[in-house]
Amino acid sequence: MRVLIVEDNLALADGVSRALKKMGLAVDTLHDGIEAEEVLSIQDYDLIVLDINLPGIDGLELLRRIRVKGNSVQVIILTARDQLQDRVAGLDLGADDYLAKPFELAELEARIRALLRRNSDQSNPIITHGRLRFDTVARRVWIDDNSIDISRRELSLLELMLNRVGQVVSKGQIADGLANFDTHITSNAIETHVSRLRKRIKPADISIQTIRGIGYLMEKV
């Protein structure tokens, strides 16, 4: 899952970013409404955490432009404004949720999990592949009844592969799913992550095949 945070308070943006990365999400952070609009024209996201009071254009105008373009990305508005008319305006423009500052990170995390659960179109959003189970909301993985330790990027890689079982996933798609503005995922790094993930899921008798020159394939069980 890839998330964009648009928040001009640098300390708050950093805190939210750190919390979401711990959830196993790929996170980008911007501090300006115009810049965010430009990025959204070329990059897809699963969720936007959006402040209302932004330089350039404010969050409500950015949200309006996003929806006018037909972008259905889920949006949580974060703002110091807690008056009824502001909440109504945000929801009417297409926000999926609204959280007034100050807030606890635990509440934001819970609301994001709820949106991810809703987006999965399942009441119990667990992907099962053979003996492996992946809870896409709690970000936990089991083989049979045994929970396995897995890094944030391996979680993202596993989710990407599980959503494309039987399809070849290119290195470009993997890099796009794992990277953020602050990092660059090299081809060697991708190979390392894939190798580590193979070892994690080997006890479940699940293999990831290398399709030379193209990418990787998680085979159907």
Q: Is the pLDDT of residue 121 over 60?
A: no
Q: Of residues 41 and 83, which shows the higher confidence score?
A: 41
pLDDT at 82: 64
Q: What distance separates the 2 farthest-apart alpha carbons in the chain?
A: 57
pLDDT at 168: 93
Q: Which CATH number fits domain 126-218: 1.10.3470.10, 2.40.50.140, 3.40.50.800, 1.10.10.10?
A: 1.10.10.10
What is the per-residue DSSP string for 141-205?
EEETTEE----HHHHHHHHHHHTTTTSEEEHHHHHHHH--TT----HHHHHHHHHHHHHHHGGGT
Where are the domains positioned within the chain? Answer: 2-119, 126-218
Helix-helix angle 33-40:59-68, to 10 degrees: 20
pLDDT at 120: 59
What is the spatial distance between Cα 172 and Cα 175, in angstroms, rounded to a whole number? 5
Average pLDDT score, the chain: 88
Q: How confident is the model at residue 97 (pLDDT cuts 50, 70, 90)?
A: very high
Q: Convert the pLDDT of each residue in 20-56 to its tens digit.
A: 988 878 899 999 999 999 999 998 898 999 999 899 9
Stretch 3-24: mean pLDDT, rounded? 92
pLDDT at 87: 76
* Residue 24 CB-half CA count within 13 A: 21
Q: How confident is the model at residue 90 (pLDDT cuts 50, 70, 90)?
A: confident
pLDDT at 179: 74
Q: Convert the pLDDT of each residue in 104-118 to its tens digit.
A: 999 999 888 888 777
| Alpha helix ranges (H) inside 45-170 | 59-68, 84-92, 105-119, 152-162
Q: Which CATH number fits domain 2-119: 3.40.50.2300, 3.40.50.720, 3.40.50.620, 3.30.420.40?
A: 3.40.50.2300
Least reliable range by pLDDT among 80-84, 100-104, 108-112, 140-144: 80-84
